[in-house]
Structures are given as structure tokens and as C-alpha cells.
Amino acid sequence: MDSVLIITIIIVFLALSFDFINGFHDTANAIATSVSTRALSPRRAIILASSLNFIGALTFTGVAKAIGGQVADPATLEHGLQIVIAALLAAITWNLVTWWFGIPSSSSHALIGSLAGAVIASAGFGALNESGFTKIVQGLLFSPLIAFAIGFILMILFKKIFANANPHLYNNRFRRTQIITTAFQAFTHGTNDAQKAMGIITFALVAGNFQTDLEVPLWVKLSAATAMALGTSVGGWKIIKTMGTKIFKIEPVNGVTADLASAGVILTATLIHLPVSTTHVITSSILGVGSAKKFSAVKWGLAGRIIITWIITIPISGFLAGGFYELIKIIFL
């Protein structure tokens, strides 16, 4: 069998593994609030999230094309396939480390940082598409701030609108509404996050001369959507516990507000073909909602540790990818 084909098969396997891990790592964020308020049982939440993730993953491809071409041009890289392997190994490693410790870090940051690190290790800084990479990083940085602000504002509005409502009736209605907002959240997660694996596989297909453009083949869409849905079905209970209970005590109205804020930001990013960190967006919306509810109720020490993890993810995953690339170079080059 041709060595390029073998390497490409390895890449597809690693990319789908990344998507599977992303499913139980990041999708936990999408269902954490509904599980913590008992709007949905864990089993029903996972089934709902898996189904909507699958549908969302098949709906759009703009983010996949951005991942496939905005960090670097795969057609011009001499060792493009090896770069992709190194990037995936680094991103998977960092995802598993943060999952093990229950830290909701970003799979998107890990993948983008890893891809950039592997490209730099192989071809130097000049091989990076500076404008495209900068645009992606700006999206990753600003989207959480926007989600925080929207979550804060929506929570203030809900507090004013329902100030005189019967608390029991009020909570029951919002708990039922959470089923809808959780479904919306899971759908938007699929529209953005599953496309990252699609983009990295398409990047590899172009680098290996299996295709000449960044159009995502149907088999790639179906494979990535299925891998994420299966990963979601496994669940990420450590992260659900962190997101749903440890930042602040979430009530149904808080869950609905956080879901609406984060899902709106993620869907907007998908529509403008911008990969964002669903983890950052969802966590930030929860922090915004918690701040509006009662600033002192938010456990800012834990929030600070989460933010530190966000900050270090891109450089650490980049260095990991550089190390993996040097190892791969010894094996394959």
C-alpha cells in the first residue's frame, strides 16, 4: 500500500478520535446546566445532545474550510501529512489531560495551537497564514467576552421581567424551557465543533493530493458527525460537575439564559465561518449569568483557574505539536 495513503488513513483515524474525545469533553458543557437543574436526566440529556450534535455537524461546512485553509495552505507544505499527525496527537493529548482533571479547556484552542505549532516546527513562521491565523485567534479571544456580556444583560432583563413572579411556577416553566435551549445549544455545538475534525481531514486530503480544493466530502461529514455523536453518548461527567455545580448554584432561569447567550454566539460564529471555542463561550455565558445573579455567588477562584488553562492551551499544545513533529520526522522522514 502507498505510504501516503497509509499516513492519510492514520490521520483520518486520529481526527475522528479527536472528534470523539471532543464529543465527551466539550459536549458536557452543552448539557451541564440542564443536568444540574434536573431539567433533564443525564441519560436524556446525552441522547438529546448526541442527536442534535449529529444534525448540527451535517448542516454547515464553512468552519471546516476555515480550519483547512486559514492557518496554513496545505498545498504548499512539503510535509503536510506529518504536520497534521503531530497536530492531532498534541491536541488529543492536551484534551485528555484537561478532561482527566475536570478542567473545561478548549478543544478548539488545542487544535489551532497544535496545528500552528506543527507548521512552525516543519516550515517556520513564514508558513503560517498570518491574516487567517490572526482572524481565528481574534474570534477565540473575543467570543467569550461577547458571551459574558450577553449572558449578563439577559439575566438582568429576566430578573426585572420576572421580579414579581411566583417562584415555584417561574422555576417550573424555565425548567421545561431548558429542554428546548439545551437542544439549541447542542445543535450549535455540532455546527461549529464537529467541523474542526472535518477541516483537519480535508487539510490532509489536500496535502496528500487526494483533492485540490477545500470542499468537505460527504464521507468526511458523516464520519465526523458520527464520531462526535458517539463521544457525546459517553458523557463527560467530571466537566459536567465543574460547569453545572462548581462555578455557582445554577437555577433553571440561569440555565436558560446561559444556553441562549452561548448558543447565539456559537451559531453566529458558524454563520460567518469562524471557529470559536464552545467551551470558552459556554463557560463565559455562565459566568456572566452568575455575575448578574449575584457577583459574590460566583466562585471566582475556580473561574480564574479555568481562565489560566484557556490562556496556556494554545502555547502548550503548540509546543507539544512541535515535539511530536520532531518525533514523527525521525520515524517517517
- At 155-211, the pLDDT tens digits run 999 988 888 877 777 778 888 898 999 899 889 988 888 888 898 899 889 888 898
Cell output for 179: 429542554
At 200, the amino acid letter reads: I
pLDDT band at 242 (very low <50, low <70, confident <90, very high): low
- The closest alpha carbon to 144, from 268, 257, 282, 25, belongs to 282
Using the predicted structure, report yes or no on whether residue 18 has a pLDDT greater than 50. Answer: yes
127-146 average pLDDT score: 86
Residue 18: count of CB within 10 angstroms of its CB: 29
| Angle subtended at Cα 69 by Cα 83 and Cα 63, rounded to the nearest 5 degrees | 110
User: Where does the pLDDT of residue 225 fall: very low under 50, low under 70, confident under 90, or very high at 90 and above?
Assistant: confident
Phi/psi at 97 (5° precision): -65, -50
Q: Rounded to whole angstroms, how far apart are CA atoms 207 and 227? A: 23
Rounded to the nearest integer, the mean pLDDT of the chain is 83
Among the listed ranges 31-35, 116-120, 128-132, 242-246, which one has the minimum average pLDDT value?
Answer: 242-246
Q: What are 163's three cell numbers?
A: 421580579
* DSSP SS3 for 102: coil
Residue 142's CB is within 10 A of a number of other CB atoms, namely 14
Q: If pLDDT is split at 50, 70 and 90, which confidence band does 244 have?
A: very low
| 155 vs 239, higher pLDDT | 155
The model's confidence at residue 302, banded by pLDDT at 50, 70 and 90, is low
pLDDT of residue 171: 78
**Coil vs helix vs strand at 298:** coil
The CA-atom distances, in angstroms, between 162 and each of 37, 156, 318 are 19, 10, 47
DSSP calls for 124-156:
-GGGS-HHHHHHHHHHHHHHHHHHHHHHHHHHH
Rg (alpha carbons) of the chain, rounded to whole number: 20
> Considering only 35-49, 218-232, 235-249, 284-298, which range has the smallest mean pLDDT?
235-249
Say how many residues make up the chain: 333
306 pLDDT above the threshold of 80: no
| pLDDT level of residue 63 (50, 70, 90 thresholds) | confident
What pTM value is reported for the model? Answer: 0.85
Instruction: Give the pLDDT confidence score for residue 238 in this predicted structure.
Output: 54
Q: Helices (H) and strands (E) in the chain — how many of each?
A: 12, 0
At residue 239, the pLDDT reads 53
- Asked whether the predicted pLDDT for residue 98 surpasses 70, the reply is yes
Tell me what the mean pLDDT of segment 76-100 comes to: 87
Rounded Cα distance, 259 and 180, in Å:
10
Q: Please indicate whether residue 282 or residue 88 has the higher confidence score (pLDDT).
A: 88
324 has pLDDT over 50: yes
**96, 112, 173, 228 from 235: Cα distances, Å:** 14, 24, 26, 11
- Higher-confidence residue of 41 and 188: namely 188
Rounded Cα–Cα distance for residues 192 and 205 (Å)? 20
Higher pLDDT, 233 or 5: 5
- Residue 57's Cα: distance from chain center in Å? 12
pLDDT of residue 89: 94
Distance of alpha carbon 190 from alpha carbon 196, whole angstroms? 10
| Alpha-carbon gap, residue 178 to 125, rounded angstroms | 46
Inter-axis angle of helices 3-36 and 252-271, to 10 degrees?
150
